[in-house]
Amino acid sequence: MSGVDKRNRAYRRGHSAERLAALALMLKGYRIVDRRYRTRLGEIDLIARRGDIVLIVEVKARTTLEQAMDSLNLSTMRRIEAAADLWLARQSDHSRLSLRFDLVAILPWRWPVHVPAAFTT
């Protein structure tokens, strides 16, 4: 398998994982307000909202929950936080909003695992 094929497969797998994570969050009562929010500082996989609570969600497709949690390293967290700050600054009601950094792990043959407050700023 060529490098291009591997990248395409990973890209499709990422999109599929994000769709499944978005569905799981919507069934919990969250509204998806943005997907793959890109800034010069980084990307946020999903931004979900319920009332004044905004979830900044990192989606990880891994074999185990432990692997998904371990993949959140310091540089990943900083990148997500920086992108979240830019998103928040563009919201007209930003002073009322509470941000929470969550993880949704997509595991083989299981419903997505939502980990609230997977990391804090």
Cα–Cα dist 81/113, whole Å: 21
Q: What are the pLDDT digits (tens) for 80-121?
A: 999 999 999 999 999 999 999 999 999 999 999 999 999 886
Of 115, 119, 117, 112, residue with least CA distance to 21: 112
Phi and psi at residue 109, in whole multiples of 5°?
60, 30
Burial class (CB in 10 A: 0-12, 13-18, 19+), 105: buried
Model's pTM, two decimal places?
0.91
CATH code, domain with 110: 3.40.1350.10
Domain range for residue 34?
A: 3-119
Spatial contact of 118 and 68, defined as CB atoms under 8 Å apart: no
Calculate the average pLDDT of the chain: 94
- Pairing between strand 98-106 and 53-61? parallel
- Total structural domains in the chain? 1
Which tens digit of pLDDT belongs to each residue from 25-74? 999 999 999 999 999 999 999 999 999 999 999 999 999 999 999 999 99
